[in-house]
């Protein structure tokens, strides 16, 4: 891994011929809408299938996050058992350690982590621009100090794409500059959004791997006009899919919903998948699907599991509470996960108190199973035309409880593009 130094020549201009060539090339992924939104407008939710070089993905889909080429505490067999069909890996962290060149020499990310299903890599933009005093951003890119050893590095759209091409994921993401909506002024959001558009053009020009898709990122904060303009700008570029960035952060669920209500209607005639970055609580996933989003990711289910918080249809269980020490029941009656099939709440409560590593594995298996089964329930509701009923049940408190949310520092290896927290 080499350390890049800032350029003194400014950003290279995008290559218009490269963009034109991309328009004429077949996409390595295809997306088909199998169940379109109903004509009565009761929901914008839709069910689809994303075909990738490593297999199909039924949507709406939640992607567990394997930040360092692993979903913490789980191996690939565990991921298959919980029915994960696609996972996310983090470009920033893998660039720093073990290095994208090393992973490429060892056969690419799929072989490196022994995962034969689809992978999406984020661009590293969220981590880089969220490092506070450890980074500086200009039109060419971002200079930052590693949270591992303080060494200086330079990320540009071209380097981000090169790293992701070396990793070899099925889907790469264009480099962007996300900003937290509430902590940023309108002028700051506008500047970052315009820079994201320029970086999107450069990412497209730099990307040349034929067996890898490239998604662009819509920004614009909570400003309706900026969000609409960014949607139109990114949608006009030849990306294979469209990410909705700059949300799942410090905004309220109502503000997030309002932003989606700006973006999605502008994409009604667009055949590409829509990916809301960083959303992970069941309530929020359901609301976003209802508004027309297809793909999601978050560290949330796995992170809270490792803290001893388990999700059930009746709400959350904190296994560190003493009341579980003598409870012979499973975490959730009827759950198919390995924790619920074999172990009691009392046993898991003991494991957490003893700091046994098995606690993290079993708890993570449960929360990911809960989340992915909830997504399967959403897909069934779309297929049967009952998603509006499911949304009504949730809003009345009968489907899941409202989560609380928190964003972690990018220095944490748990954090990925837009990842934030909460429990249900």
Q: What is the pLDDT of residues 376-401, one digit of tens each?
A: 999 999 999 999 999 999 999 866 54
CATH topology of domain 43-298: TIM Barrel (3.20.20)
407: pLDDT confidence band, cut at 50, 70 and 90? Answer: very low
Q: Which two tokens stand for residue 226?
A: 């900026």
Q: Which two tokens stand for residue 257?
A: 């919903």
Percent of the chain exceeding pLDDT 90 equals: 82
Question: What is the average per-residue pLDDT within 204-208?
Answer: 98
Let me know the angle formed at the C-alpha of 119 by 266 and 408, rounded to the nearest 5 degrees. 75
Would you say residue 245 has pLDDT above 60? yes
CA dist 196 and 191 (Å) reads 9
Q: What is the pLDDT of residues 132-185, one digit of tens each?
A: 778 899 999 999 999 999 999 999 999 999 999 999 999 999 999 999 888 899
Give the active site residues. Answer: 122, 297
pLDDT at 402: 42
pLDDT at 50: 98
Question: What is the average per-residue pLDDT within 262-277?
Answer: 98
Whole-number Cα distances in Å, 351 to 131, 320, 361, 379? 35, 10, 11, 35
Helix (H, G, I), strand (E, B) or coil at 353: helix
* First-to-final CA distance of the chain: 40
pTM, rounded to two decimals: 0.90
Would you say residue 413 has pLDDT above 50? no
pLDDT at 424: 25
Residue 172 C-alpha from the chain's centroid: 12
Question: What is the average per-residue pLDDT within 18-30?
Answer: 74
Q: What is the pLDDT of residues 40-93, one digit of tens each?
A: 999 999 999 999 999 999 999 999 999 999 999 999 999 999 999 999 999 999
pLDDT at 5: 38
CA dist 204 and 103 (Å) reads 23
Q: What is the pLDDT of residues 283-316, one digit of tens each?
A: 999 999 999 999 999 999 999 999 999 999 999 9
Whole-number Cα distances in Å, 254 to 43, 139, 211, 258, 260? 17, 32, 38, 6, 10
The candidate with the shortest Cα–Cα distance to 67, out of 367, 421, 415, is 415
Question: What is the average per-residue pLDDT within 257-286?
Answer: 97
Question: What is the average per-residue pLDDT within 203-226?
Answer: 98
β-sheet bridge partners, residue 62: 296
Contact between 179 and 221 (Cβ < 8 Å) = yes
pLDDT at 334: 97
129: pLDDT confidence band, cut at 50, 70 and 90? Answer: confident
**CATH 3.20.20.105 occupies which residues in the chain?**
43-298
CB-count burial class (<10 Å; 0-12, 13-18, 19+) for 2: exposed
The 3-state DSSP composition of the chain as helix, strand, coil percent (nearest 5) reads 40, 15, 45
pLDDT at 11: 53
pLDDT at 24: 63
pLDDT at 248: 82
408: pLDDT confidence band, cut at 50, 70 and 90? Answer: very low
One-character DSSP codes across 221-257: TT-HHHHHHHHHHHHTS--SEEEE-S-SSSS-HHHHH
Which of these ranges, 98-112, 129-143, 315-329, has the smallest mean pLDDT? 129-143
Q: What is the pLDDT of residues 342-379, one digit of tens each?
A: 999 999 999 999 999 999 999 999 999 999 999 999 99
Cβ neighbors of 106 (< 8 A, separation 6 or more) are: 112
CB-count burial class (<10 Å; 0-12, 13-18, 19+) for 70: middle
Pairing of strands 30-35, 47-52: antiparallel
33: pLDDT confidence band, cut at 50, 70 and 90? Answer: very high
Q: Which two tokens stand for residue 371?
A: 């989340």
């Amino acid at each position: 891994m080499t350390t890049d130094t800032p350029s003194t020549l400014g950003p290279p201009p995008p290559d218009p011929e490269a963009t034109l060539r991309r328009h004429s090339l077949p996409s390595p992924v295809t997306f088909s809408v199998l169940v379109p939104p109903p004509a009565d407008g009761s929901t914008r939710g839709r069910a689809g299938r994303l075909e990738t070089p490593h297999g199909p993905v039924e949507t709406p889909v939640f992607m567990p996050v394997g930040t360092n080429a692993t979903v913490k505490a789980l191996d690939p067999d565990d991921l298959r058992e919980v029915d994960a069909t696609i996972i996310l890996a983090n470009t920033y962290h893998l660039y720093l350690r073990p290095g994208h060149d090393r992973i490429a020499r060892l056969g690419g990310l799929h072989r490196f982590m022994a995962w034969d299903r689809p992978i999406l890599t984020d661009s590293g933009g969220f981590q880089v621009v969220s490092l506070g005093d450890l980074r500086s951003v200009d039109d060419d890119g971002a200079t930052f100090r590693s949270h591992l050893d303080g060494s200086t590095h330079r990320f540009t759209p071209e380097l981000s794409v090169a790293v992701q091409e070396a990793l070899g994921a099925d889907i790469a993401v264009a480099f962007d500059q996300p900003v937290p909506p509430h902590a940023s002024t309108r002028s700051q959001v506008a500047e970052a959004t315009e820079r994201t558009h320029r970086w999107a053009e450069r990412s497209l020009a730099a990307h040349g791997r034929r067996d890898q898709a490239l998604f662009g990122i819509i920004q614009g904060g909570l400003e309706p006009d900026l969000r609409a303009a960014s949607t139109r700008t990114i949608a006009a570029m030849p990306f294979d899919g469209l990410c909705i960035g700059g949300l799942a952060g410090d905004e309220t669920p109502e503000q997030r919903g309002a932003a989606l209500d700006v973006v999605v209607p502008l994409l009604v005639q667009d055949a590409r998948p829509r990916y809301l970055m960083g959303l992970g609580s069941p309530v929020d996933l359901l609301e976003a699907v209802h508004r027309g989003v297809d793909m999601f990711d978050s560290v949330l289910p796995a992170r809270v599991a490792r803290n001893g918080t388990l999700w059930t249809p009746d709400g959350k269980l904190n296994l560190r509470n003493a009341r579980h020490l003598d409870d012979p029941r499973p975490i959730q009656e009827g759950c198919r996960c390995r924790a619920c099939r074999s172990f009691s709440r009392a046993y898991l409560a003991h494991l957490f108190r003893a700091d046994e590593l098995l606690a993290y594995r079993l708890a993570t298996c449960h929360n990911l199973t809960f989340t992915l089964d909830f997504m399967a329930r959403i897909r069934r509701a779309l297929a049967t035309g009952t998603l509006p009923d499911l949304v009504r049940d949730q809003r009345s408190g009968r489907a899941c409880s409202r989560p609380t949310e928190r964003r972690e520092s990018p220095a944490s290896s748990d954090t990925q593009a837009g990842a934030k927290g909460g429990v249900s």
